[in-house]
Structure 1
Amino acid sequence: MSIYKKIKLQDKFVLFLMCLVFVSCEKLIETEPVGVISTDKAYDNEKNIEASVNGIYYKLQQTGSLYNGNFYSIYAALSDEAKVLTPAVNSIEFSTNQISVANMAVSNLWNNAYDVIYQCNSLIENVTPKTDLNTVKKNQFIGEAKFLRAYSYFMLAQYFGDVPLALSSDYRANNTLSRSPVTEINDFITEELEEAEVLLPDGFNIYGGVRTRITKQAAQALNARQYLYRENWNKAIEKSSLLIENNTFSLPENFDDVLKSNSPESIFELWFSSQSAGTYNYTAGLFVPNISLPNPATPGFLPSDKLVNAFETNPITFTPDKRKDAFIRFQSTPSPGYNYLFKYRDRTTNSDQPKFFRLAEQYLIRAEARAQLNLPGAADDIDVIRLRAGLPKTVAVTQSQLLDAVAQERFVELCFEGHRWPDLIRTGQADVVLGAYKPTTWQPTDKLLPIPATEIGRNSNLNPQNPGYQNQ
């Protein structure tokens, strides 16, 4: 599926219905059968609207989607944090940055984002004019949709640059949209998140304490990130400080507690479950060897030697960075062995919950923004992250040193969470870093992915193709 919804039923569309149930802190949503229902029925009462909202979350997690494997494996290969052992063509293209316009992993990102956007557009259009809903719930539903729409556009802009700005569920109009400048997309994201922050519930109590639904704090977190990316340093400091000063969130000393479901550090994590294949997270199976076997097969994706070596040793205690043992493990067979990623661990029940936003990132956002403005406190924020990892305080003093220190902490702390590639692009380091890391394949035009050929085939207004790619 894509932005171009070729729906032949006049006022009907497919909705993935998932009803919210508060079973425990480990389980939030149970699925109902997929159905085709009229728009009137989908939004005629609070229960059905809630099911429609859950359907948007389900789009992010379902089998074949982006966040149950691809984004944390194939997309990591774009940068210098992963190495690829699988012979799959899609993955090899990412590892060499020689990506075809027919690459399915690229299409998955595009399609997933626009599927989410389409469902958000439909919900916003139909729920906004309703006058018979509880105001708090109505605001929550619209706020969730606005956040998820903004997040989808944020992802599209980072990887494709200029993209169509589709703000209605009219597939006929969407079918002919041209690409909007990335500055316009970013302005829309900012406006959308500021509105969502007002509408969304404050904290997780309304969701039974679990951290798998969007709150005001998630909007603040994405706002802090996108303000950092846009070099609006003051706003990045403002939004990240709101989260750092919020007692709802804390930095656990034990990194097992960082990675567990509903971590006290999580601002939003995506719910996964062992209930059915539709809610499995297959990420761990791509990284962790099956150690129940005498000679487990080497995973298709491994952390790069550069990343493994980036974890420091405390020069005073001679103890390694605590994150290395938490995030990286060593498998001795077959000889000589190899390091593998242990950030996603559950290859048995497939229910790891990826952390879209967590508190450590907010400290590093504020540190970077403070350093850019030559404000005090940047080193203090860096030290919060380093001290938890068992490392001494940073020795960085100058602006350049502080920015390098932030980049180092982002590389190791946030590894395989989707940050490294956009960090290299937004800071202007991609050509230097990846030119050295991939000297035979990296080109300056590799900073954007190609618009999928199938999408240009449906809509020629998406031309011109991104630089460095040829339509097929």
Structure 2
Amino acid sequence: MKKLSKTYQIKSWISSGALALTLSLTFSCQDLLQEDVISQIGNDYLNTPKGLEDGVNAAYMSMRAWYGTERGHSLTEFGTDIYTNGADGSWKFMNTYTTDFDTQNGLVREVWDEFYRGINTCNAVIDRSVNVTGINEATLKQRIAEVKFIRAHHYFLLVQLFGSVDLQLSETLIPTKEVSRAPVSEVYSSIIADLEEAIPDLEALKSSNQYGRVTRPAAQHLLAKVYMTKATSEAAASDDYAKAEPLLKSVINDYGYTLLPDFAQVFQFGNERNDEVIWAIQYTRDPLTNQQGNPANNPALNNGNNSHLYFLMEYDTQPGMRRDTQNGRPFKRFRMTSYAINTVFEDRVNDSRYKASIKDTYYSNNLGTNNGTFNTSFDLSKPTVTFELGDTAIYIPGYEMSQEERAKRPYQVLVPSRYDERLFPALSKHLDPGRADLTQEQGGRDFPAMRLGETYLLLAEVQLKLGKLDEATASVNVIRRRAAFSGKADEMEITPAQMTMDFLMEERARELIGEQFRWLDLKRWGVLVERVKLYNPQGAPNIKDYHVLRPIPQNQIDRTQGGASAFPQNPGY
């Protein structure tokens, strides 16, 4: 099966009207054998069949600015009810909502810039397609549908993050400073139009023969989520939820997707392409073809899928342990809140998702120079620990084990009262033991942007909003039965009386933790401020109502003709 993966540098003078900047675009192609880098391409290249294909693949690459990146995770995990900050990193203010979270925020600027680059690439492909000859008509329609999906995807994230944004639907041929913020309703209308036009021309397959291309079910999944989000926005219409329901049912029933029998398999290393993945963002092991965006503008865009860095505790300074590729390089950015650990994942007898998602055991990989005997670091129930290679070195039970019981264990036991910003239960979903060495930041795992587990939860949410309580309960129970430990499926089922929005909020956290949804979910439900105040002690003192939008990057306002009067900043920033 062919894969969209190889990267080409094509220097083009295509400018985004929202940026008023000249760009260099990076193009991918589906040929796994071709390694050549193309440069100095003329303006007419996009008018050729090969140029159009490379332009489409360049648009796909703009997805890497969001998925599997520090900026994408920071904008979706930080400052929520289930994640707070660890010890390290420069972006803690995005969790604490202090005044440092301002219009100069680099992560926000990068997302804005890279998405508008991607949008203008989509616009160029669409506008130039009328000039392209020598390409099969069905293929041409499919490629146009793909870039309409990408354009809709980018605007959907932009409108959720920033509210009204500049709406550019045609190629910007020369730099311009004349931009403005379109109404939210107009942005949603454009998103929906793009997706409705794309769906008939996309492949009606579970997975494209060229893995990584958008297919019809991916567009249906996205359009359903657009309607659900629009339903709680200022652009809401009375039939938004009703329009979402058949789209989600089609994804579930019409293409052959199936939930994997064991939840732990979903994020198992080496199993990234599986029957549950609707659409994934591709990464590679080749630094040339693993970029998140245009590294000529920002070297930080060259780190591949580096999700593996951010959710890990400082295990590598503990007795019997050293850093390795299996356990990961611990950047200690994101740690779960007490609410996430103790309430969301309270049931660990019937529900396998805590065990499958959270790393609870570390095995000794470093005997040091003293025959494997060490003074303990955090578990003071014993003065020393002694390990052979492969012995348990750290165990995290997830509950407050007594000192007497811990003293009987020949390893360190990390209990909740000892959790801090360096030591905490680590998310294991994104670990990448395929990295070249223990220091490598670049990751090469594909990032699943859409999977069937979420589709069922979206359907349950829609059905709950439509008053179809029994159907919503049945949809959630599909997910819960799959999540059960062997023999515990019956205990995992809920009744209609238990099917509430509060329950669904926690169920989405159990299923989707760390998958770049939570901040957007809380905003869609209208409970972001409320739940941060309840469950995130670091964010609670400072979060305000205006934090449901992110700041417009100041450089965007500065380069707009008329400045803030023509392109006003969001309130509060």
The TM-score range, normalised by the shorter chain, is 0.7 to 0.9
Greater shift after overlay, 101-110 or 79-88?
A: 79-88
Decide whether aligned partners of structure 1 residues 250 and 205 sit closer, same or farther in structure 2, where only a CA change above 3 A counts.
closer
Matches of 1:179 and 1:133 in 2, distance apart?
A: 37
What do residues 238-261 of structure 1 show as CA deviations (whole Å, max 9, x unaligned)? Answer: 100001102421100123431231
Matches of 1:53 and 1:158 in 2, distance apart?
A: 25
> Is 2:28 the partner of 1:18?
yes
Partner of 1:272: 283
Decide whether aligned partners of structure 1 residues 105 and 298 sit closer, same or farther in structure 2, where only a CA change above 3 A counts.
closer
| 1:16-415 correspondence runs (5 A) | 16-21=26-31, 32-33=36-37, 35-45=39-49, 47-61=50-64, 65-75=65-75, 76-89=77-90, 91-98=91-98, 99-170=101-172, 172=174, 175-203=177-205, 206-208=208-210, 210=211, 212-231=212-231, 232-259=240-267, 260-276=271-287, 278-279=289-290, 280-288=304-312, 294-296=321-323, 299-312=332-345, 319-330=349-360, 335=378, 336=414, 337-349=423-435, 350-375=443-468, 376-390=470-484, 392-398=491-497, 401-415=499-513
Q: Which amino acid aligns with 1:276?
A: P
Matches of 1:19 and 1:107 in 2, distance apart?
A: 27
Contact 2:224 2:244 in 1 (8 A): yes
Contact 2:245 2:462 in 1 (8 A): yes
Contact 1:165 1:185 in 2 (8 A): yes
Contact 1:308 1:328 in 2 (8 A): no
Q: Which amino acid aligns with 2:241?
A: W
Decide whether aligned partners of structure 1 residues 246 and 300 sit closer, same or farther in structure 2, where only a CA change above 3 A counts.
same
Matches of 2:174 and 2:255 in 1, distance apart?
A: 47
Decide whether aligned partners of structure 1 residues 119 and 449 sit closer, same or farther in structure 2, where only a CA change above 3 A counts.
same
Aligned-pair distance for 1:216?
1.0
Decide whether aligned partners of structure 1 residues 22 and 291 sit closer, same or farther in structure 2, where only a CA change above 3 A counts.
farther
Matches of 2:454 and 2:279 in 1, distance apart?
A: 12
Kindly report the root-mean-square deviation, in angstroms, between the aligned alpha carbons of the 2 structures. Answer: 2.5
Report the secondary structure of 1:287's partner residue: coil
Q: Percent identity at matched positions?
A: 26
Matches of 1:368 and 1:174 in 2, distance apart?
A: 42
> Is 2:469 the partner of 1:468?
no
Aligned-pair distance for 1:160?
0.3
The alignment's TM-score, normalised by the length of structure 2, stands at 0.73
Contact 1:288 1:299 in 2 (8 A): yes
Counterpart pick for 1:454 among 555, 558, 562 = 555
Aligned-pair distance for 1:273?
1.0
Aligned-pair distance for 1:172?
4.8
Partner of 1:26: none
Q: Which amino acid aligns with 2:517?
A: H
Report the secondary structure of 1:37's partner residue: coil
Partner of 2:389: none
Matches of 2:568 and 2:331 in 1, distance apart?
A: 41
Matches of 2:305 and 2:346 in 1, distance apart?
A: 33
In proportion to residue count, which structure has more helix? 1
Matches of 1:205 and 1:77 in 2, distance apart?
A: 32
Decide whether aligned partners of structure 1 residues 402 and 57 sit closer, same or farther in structure 2, where only a CA change above 3 A counts.
same
Decide whether aligned partners of structure 1 residues 238 and 444 sit closer, same or farther in structure 2, where only a CA change above 3 A counts.
same
What do residues 398-429 of structure 1 show as CA deviations (whole Å, max 9, x unaligned)? Answer: 5x843222222111111122221122112121
What do residues 343-400 of structure 1 show as CA deviations (whole Å, max 9, x unaligned)? Answer: 11115422222211111111111111111111241100010011111163444535x8
Matches of 1:22 and 1:204 in 2, distance apart?
A: 22
Partner of 1:428: 526
Matches of 1:411 and 1:53 in 2, distance apart?
A: 34
Q: Which amino acid aligns with 2:44?
A: D
Matches of 1:195 and 1:282 in 2, distance apart?
A: 34
Matches of 2:333 and 2:214 in 1, distance apart?
A: 32
Matches of 1:468 and 1:277 in 2, distance apart?
A: 40
Matches of 2:257 and 2:530 in 1, distance apart?
A: 36
Report the secondary structure of 1:77's partner residue: coil
Q: Which amino acid aligns with 1:351?
A: G
Aligned-pair distance for 1:305?
2.8
Matches of 1:406 and 1:254 in 2, distance apart?
A: 21
What is the total number of aligned residue pairs between the two structures? Answer: 447
Matches of 2:527 and 2:259 in 1, distance apart?
A: 29
Q: Which amino acid aligns with 1:106?
A: V
Q: Which amino acid aligns with 2:27?
A: L
Greater shift after overlay, 249-258 or 14-23?
A: 14-23
Report the secondary structure of 1:68's partner residue: coil
What do residues 36-75 of structure 1 show as CA deviations (whole Å, max 9, x unaligned)? Answer: 3223123312x332222111222333xxx33232245312
Contact 1:197 1:216 in 2 (8 A): yes
Contact 2:206 2:257 in 1 (8 A): no
Matches of 2:494 and 2:349 in 1, distance apart?
A: 18
Report the secondary structure of 2:278's partner residue: strand
Structure 2 residue runs without a partner (length 5+):
1-14, 232-239, 291-303, 324-329, 363-375, 379-413, 415-422, 436-442
Decide whether aligned partners of structure 1 residues 347 and 94 sit closer, same or farther in structure 2, where only a CA change above 3 A counts.
farther
Greater shift after overlay, 113-122 or 164-173?
A: 164-173
Greater shift after overlay, 162-171 or 298-307?
A: 298-307
Matches of 1:281 and 1:68 in 2, distance apart?
A: 5
Partner of 2:390: none
Partner of 2:12: none
Q: Which amino acid aligns with 1:79?
A: T
Structure 1 residue runs without a partner (length 5+):
8-12, 24-29
Matches of 2:307 and 2:190 in 1, distance apart?
A: 31
